[in-house]
Amino acid sequence: MSRNADSPYILTAANSATAIEQGLAGAEWYTSPIPKAALRELLERRDGPALRDTLLWFGLLAASGYAGFQLWGTWWAVFPFLIYGVLYGSTSDSRWHESSHGTAFRSDWLNNSLYELASFMVMRESTVWRWSHARHHSDTIIVGRDPEIAVPRPPDIKAMLMVFFNLNTAPNYFRKLCLHAGGRLTDEEPLYIPASEHPKVFFKARIYLLIYAAVIATAVFQRSLLPLMYIGLPNFYGAWLMPVYGDTQHAGLAENVLDHRLNCRTVYMHPINRYLYWNMNYHIEHHMFPLVPYHALPKLHELVKADMPAPYRGLREAWREIIPAILRQTKDPGYFVKRTLPTPTQPLQPAAAVLSSSTAAAADGWVEAGDAALLGKEDVIRFDHAERTYALYQTAGGGYHATDGTCTHGRAHLADGLVKGNLIECPKHNGRFDITDGSPQRPPACAALRTYPLENRDGRLFLNLARAGLSDAGEPQVPRGEQAQPRHLDRGVGA
């Protein structure tokens, strides 16, 4: 959606600074308590559900596309192309989204392949949007920080209606593609895309333009619109379902709050809609626990729903709230829908255990961290000591390791993340680190963690604070306007 140059929603250094001064940037967000064992089960990655759903999706695209081809030249072709267009131009959005988090599949190559394909299909440059979406999860609907606020206030109703057919998004997209293909970025993009990623942006923009040029050339050569009905035009005639689902996520809700229950909606949907939308209707749950794969969101919802505002009973109920809210915001931009937070009827589940010690480290740097029985295999636990926080790990093979406790990308406790092999996955944006040497292994994590020796001595964990190590891999590559997070958070900051 286009914005005036003086809009507070533009990601300028000044607007970003305002959010930072208010403590809204990279801040601590509310998280519903959930038993660690239950969360760990939900985090389990599988290839099966997304393979099944993706093969069905490809099958539907192929069948509708083939029917359109066979019926081309008759009015009957309208019907298969209506289906093809929605599958291509709208449902690629949720495939793009889930694979961007790296959670749809267990196998990274499957996540990355679907991500590249779906990014092209939904008209989002894959590198640009990977970084923009990381920021959206750090600073959800924080004005001046979140590049993905779909309905800035006061809402532009004409622009909102044009989005249903990408009439404003598409020109903007092609303008940026040309800019990137020419080796340049917009003024906003360096604020959230690190310099090391810029060559990828330029390279992929050229590839995208080449594909569009080839499709247009084929259409001209064949003197037929048919090639464009498969690539290009579906983003116009099939885009309408994307805002029907997507605007329910945040439209009309609060800005500048640090509780996803106040700025996201969870909407119950029919199973067909949930298939098309890949369960993104559980949007509060997704934002609160972005590591949980889409197929586990219904189970997560059952675990946390007592701590959530009442879910909407369907798309119709959500839109009955959104339409009057945005109409009112056109005259009263300060208005927003206030969600009522529940008083839990049953005691909340205890959060994950945290080890702590106030005993000073010995002269040789060793400090006793606590009971080793609390740290299972392929597990991580938080340890707080002297106003600093650490993450202690045991690998599946029984190796003990320790790193700084907070992610180098943002303000997230790694103890809330997922250990797989020698990797810890950050709970906030799914960045990964090697726990043996602290090196970053998956963006947006780019800077290494400090590591520390950790030993299990007769059932007690001992950490050495004097022998910290820092891998050379992954020098800090922080986007302009993004503050590198301190290596240690003060106790009490963070989840």
Site of interaction with ligand FES (CB under 6 A):
407, 409-410, 412, 426, 428-429, 431, 444-445
Integer CA distances (angstroms), 413 to 142, 146, 227, 381, 449, in order: 21, 21, 49, 10, 12
For the CB of residue 426, give the shortest distance to ligand FES in the complex, in Å.
3
Minimum distance between the CB of residue 167 and ligand FES, rounded to whole angstroms?
Answer: 34
Cα–Cα nearest to 12, from 197, 195, 187? 187
Q: How many CB atoms lie within 10 A of CB 374?
A: 15
Which of 494, 33, 24 lies closest to 257, judged by CA?
Answer: 24
Q: How far is the CB of 446 from ligand FES (least distance, A)?
A: 9
Closer to ligand FES by CB, 405 or 431: give it.
431
**Shortest distance (Å) from residue 430 CB to ligand FES:** 6
Residue 36 or 432 having the CB closest to ligand FES: 432
Min dist. Cβ of residue 105 to ligand FES (A): 19
Q: How many other CB atoms are found less than 10 A from the CB of residue 81?
A: 25
Residue 252 vs 443, nearer CB to ligand FES: 443
**Burial tier of 244 (Cβ tally within 10 Å: 0-12, 13-18, 19+):** middle
Nearer to ligand FES, 180 or 429 (CB): 429
DSSP symbols for 33-52? ---HHHHHHHH---SHHHHH
Nearer to ligand FES, 410 or 481 (CB): 410
Sign of CA dihedral 75, 76, 81, 86: positive
Question: Cα separation of 290 and 119, whole Å?
Answer: 19
Determine how many CB atoms are found less than 10 A away from the CB of residue 178: 12
CB atoms within 10 A of CB 116: 16
* DSSP element (H, E) containing 394: strand 388-394
State which residue, 45 or 429, has the beta carbon closest to ligand FES: 429
CB of 414 to ligand FES, least distance (A): 8
Q: Please give the Cα distance from 369 to 465 (Å, whole number).
A: 11
Q: Which is nearer to ligand FES, 438 or 444 (CB)?
A: 444
CB of 485 to ligand FES, least distance (A): 8
Residue 77 or 445 having the CB closest to ligand FES: 445
Spatial CA neighbour of 340 closest among 266, 268, 261: 261
Compute the least distance from the CB of residue 439 to ligand FES, in Å. 14
